[in-house]
């Protein structure tokens, strides 16, 4: 049974939001942070694909489905309800999706550049400059990416 907005705030909202936030892959998590979209994504998914269910188990299964845990495959575009959003919202999510997809394709290469730069003795600032100048990643996004690499690997 599907019912809009039926879960009380104190019951499971934070738990399922936490699951959405904490169980993203490293690359998707980093791309969302680079776009400053992680919280907004969690809220969007919560409202459009999780909170529509009444039963706790249905919500849990929906979270696993969104995160691709059921089939070990995450598709960011499937997590956005493109059919039911306004054009400006669509433009925003298309932008975010493009960054998620771009980082999914380029993360291993960028990490290798980061690692080899460290081995050459470059500082974080120099690596950020390399990312901005050679790979055309904006400075703020490059900082987030470097910090993510430092904490993950």
Task: Note the pLDDT of residue 74.
Answer: 83
* Residue 90 pLDDT level (bands cut at 50, 70, 90): very high
Say if residue 49's pLDDT is above 50: yes
pLDDT at 47 over 90: yes
* CA separation for the pair 41, 27 (Å, rounded): 15
- The confidence score (pLDDT) of residue 113 equals 97
Cα-based distances in Å from 13 to 23, 34, 53, 66, 70: 15, 25, 12, 16, 21
Pairwise pLDDT comparison (114 vs 22), residue with the higher score: 114
Q: In this model, does residue 62 exceed pLDDT 60? A: yes
CB neighbour burial string for 72-100, b if at least 16 within 10 angstroms, e if fewer: eebebeebbeeeeeeeeeeebbeebbebb
Q: Averaged over 75-101, what is the pLDDT?
A: 94
C-alpha span between 61 and 99 (Å, rounded):
27
Distance CA 49, CA 44 (A): 8
The pLDDT value recorded for residue 73 is: 79
Give the pLDDT confidence score for residue 70 in this predicted structure: 60
Cα dihedral value 23, 99, 78, 19, nearest 10: 20
**Residue 132 has which token pair?**
């901005």
CA distance 96 to 124: 25
So where are the chain's domains?
Answer: 9-152
Per the CB < 8 A criterion, the answer to whether 110 and 135 are in contact is yes
Share of the chain above pLDDT 70, in %: 89
This prediction has a pTM of: 0.84
Strand pairing partners for 2? 53
pLDDT value at residue 71: 59
């Amino acid at each position: 049974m599907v019912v809009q907005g039926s879960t009380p705030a104190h019951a499971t909202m934070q738990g399922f939001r936490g699951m959405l936030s904490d169980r993203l892959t490293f690359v998707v998590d980093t791309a969302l942070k680079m776009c400053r979209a992680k919280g907004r994504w969690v809220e969007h998914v919560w409202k459009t694909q999780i909170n529509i269910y009444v039963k706790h188990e249905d919500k849990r299964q929906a979270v696993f489905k969104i995160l691709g845990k059921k089939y070990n495959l995450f598709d960011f575009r499937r997590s956005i309800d493109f059919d039911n959003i306004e054009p400006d919202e669509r433009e925003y999510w298309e932008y975010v999706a493009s960054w998620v997809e771009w980082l999914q394709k380029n993360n291993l290469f960028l990490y290798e550049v980061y690692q080899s730069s460290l081995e050459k003795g470059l500082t974080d600032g120099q690596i950020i400059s390399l990312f901005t100048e050679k790979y055309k990643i904006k400075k703020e996004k490059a900082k987030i990416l470097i910090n993510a690499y430092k904490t993950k690997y």
